[in-house]
Amino acid sequence: MPLCYINGKYAPISECQLPVTDMAIQRGAAVFEAARIYDGRLFALDMHLERFAESARLAGIAADKIIPLLPDIIKTGVGMDGCPSDGLVRPYITGGDINDKGFFPEPRFFVLFGGINKTPEEERRRGATLVPNRMERPFPLCKSVNYLFALIPLGGGDKENHESLYMPGGEITEAMTNNFFLCKDGRIITAPTGRVLDGVTRNVVLTLARENGFTVEERCPREEELAVADEAFITGTVNEVLSVVRVGGLTIGSGRPGPVAAHLYRLFLSNMERWLS
Ligand X SMILES: *Cc1c(COP(=O)(O)O)cnc(C)c1O
How many CB atoms are located within 10 Å of the residue 158 CB? 9
| Nearer CB in complex with ligand X: 10/90 | 90
Q: Which is nearer to ligand X, 124 or 137 (CB)?
A: 137
3-state DSSP assignment of residue 268: helix
Closer residue to ligand X in complex, CB, 10/59: 59
Map residues 171-210 to x or -, x wherever contact with ligand X holds by CB under 6 A: ---x--xxx-----------------x-xxxx--------
Least separation, in Å, of the C-beta of 68 and ligand X? 21
Min separation Cβ 58 and ligand X, Å: 13
Q: Which residues contact 160 (CB under 8 A, 6 or more apart)?
A: 129
What minimum distance in Å lies between the beta carbon of 56 and ligand X?
15
Which residue in the set 143, 162, 195, 246 belongs to the binding site for ligand X (CB under 6 A)?
A: 143
Cβ distance to ligand X smaller for residue 10 or 131: 131
Going by DSSP bridges, is the β-strand pair 108-114/3-6 parallel, antiparallel, or unpaired? antiparallel
Span interacting with ligand X, options 5-13, 108-116, 170-178, 185-193, rule CB under 6 A: 170-178
The answer to whether 135 and 168 have CB atoms below 8 angstroms apart is: yes
**Residue whose CB is less far from ligand X, 190 or 235:** 235
Query: From the CB of 105, what's the least distance to ligand X, in Å?
Result: 25
Site stretch for ligand X (CB under 6 A), options 13-21, 100-108, 229-237, 259-267: 229-237
- Taking the complex as a whole, the smallest distance from the CB of residue 272 to ligand X amounts, in Å, to 14
| 3-state class (DSSP) for residue 170 | helix
Q: Is 209 helix (H, G, I), strand (E, B) or coil?
A: helix
Stretch of 90-98, 118-126, 184-192, 231-239 contacting ligand X, by CB under 6 A: 231-239
**Which CB sits closer to ligand X, 10 or 204?**
204
CA distance 19 to 24: 10
The C-alpha angle 142, 149, 98, rounded to 5 degrees, equals 55
Sites for ligand X among residues 233-272 (CB under 6 A) = 235-237
- Least Cβ distance, residue 91 to ligand X (angstroms): 13
Residue 185, judged by CB atoms within 10 A of its CB (0-12, 13-18, 19+), counts as: exposed
| CB contact at 8 A, 215 and 99 | no
Helices (H), the chain: 23-27, 45-59, 70-78, 121-126, 148-151, 200-211, 223-228, 259-271
* Binding residues vs ligand X (CB under 6 A): 143, 174, 177-179, 197, 199-202, 235-237
